[in-house]
Structure 1
């Protein structure tokens, strides 16, 4: 489990294609400092398992084909910046919200609206996720715990139809995460609030 509070920006050192998979080498001095084989580290919001620690500041991880297809991890090249977070410790504060590191889908940054002290970023919402997204609710974008500041649809559709969501980035988020500099057109990983999915499941059974 994670909290969506990014600990550091890492770098993709190498990408090794495998049969229906890929092995990534990722540099992140902080998250690697106490990493061991089998530990979980969220990379752009995707929970990945440490295979080896390299030179004390990097780790390797294997990404299976399903993850490559369902997330933006498969589009990363050598030199790309990534958001990194170690698994939450049971004795630490939950600074964000409950994040599993299981990507529900991907969206695309469709606009950026910089203000004096913050920036509003609009992201497209894929079919099937709209019902889990509410204004002022939680959303994870590329591993970052954020509050949904706005929702909307470009055209009239069915009740509850949703084309986009907006989040507002404070200076710290802009400076310390990939979302701060990601251009319009960038594909991002989305994970909705797990509580919403549990509530839906319970209502269906009731």
Structure 2
């Protein structure tokens, strides 16, 4: 479980394609300082398992389904990525509950620079629209954000200077893909209500 508060802006140092997967090598001195084999680290919002660490770099295997269903398949050496270690039970929950399970991929549509922040709009897959509401929570590339406005096919967020400086969203341009994870609470509520909720 994660919070969507990015700890470190990492960098892909190598991508090794395998038969039905890929092995990523990722530079992240902060998140690797206490990482061991089998530990979890969220990479652009995708929970990955550490295979090994060395000199501030960790490797992780990514199966084909994850490559196909997230933006990780588009990563290459030099790509910047958001990194977060799992939350500890005694930590403050600074963002919201994030599982590291990507629900879909969106695309950055536009960004409107302001004096202190940017308003950024992303496409929203149709099957996720019912979980995204104005002033609700959403995870974009592993970043916990508050939705400004949501429609049936897009949503917007406001990015403060800290988010622009310390995450990949400060560098994304229109057309770039992003991983989306909707608020898990909304999915559980829908499941509990069952047939009483119209699809």
| Consecutive unaligned residues in structure 2, runs of 5 or more | none
Corresponding residue of 2:172: 182
Offset, 1:205: 5.8
| Consecutive unaligned residues in structure 1, runs of 5 or more | 153-161
SS at match of 2:188: helix
Counterparts of 2:195 and 2:95 in 1: how far apart (Å)? 30
| 1:27-38 map, 5 Å | 27-38=27-38
Corresponding residue of 2:89: 90
Offset, 1:163: 1.2
Counterparts of 1:205 and 1:150 in 2: how far apart (Å)? 27
TM-score by length of 1: 0.94
1:157-179 deviation per Cα after TM superposition (whole angstroms, max 9, x unaligned): xxxxx011000000000000001
1:44 aligns with 2:44: yes
Q: CA RMSD in A?
A: 0.8
Counterparts of 2:195 and 2:53 in 1: how far apart (Å)? 45
**Segments ≥4 residues shifted beyond 3 Å:** none
Pick from 141, 148, 159: which aligns with 1:169? 159
1:130-181 deviation per Cα after TM superposition (whole angstroms, max 9, x unaligned): 00000000000000000000123xxxxxxxxx01100000000000000111
1:19 aligns with 2:19: yes
1:8-40 deviation per Cα after TM superposition (whole angstroms, max 9, x unaligned): 000101000011100000000000000000000
TM-score by length of 2: 0.97
* Total equivalences in the alignment: 196
Counterparts of 1:167 and 1:122 in 2: how far apart (Å)? 7
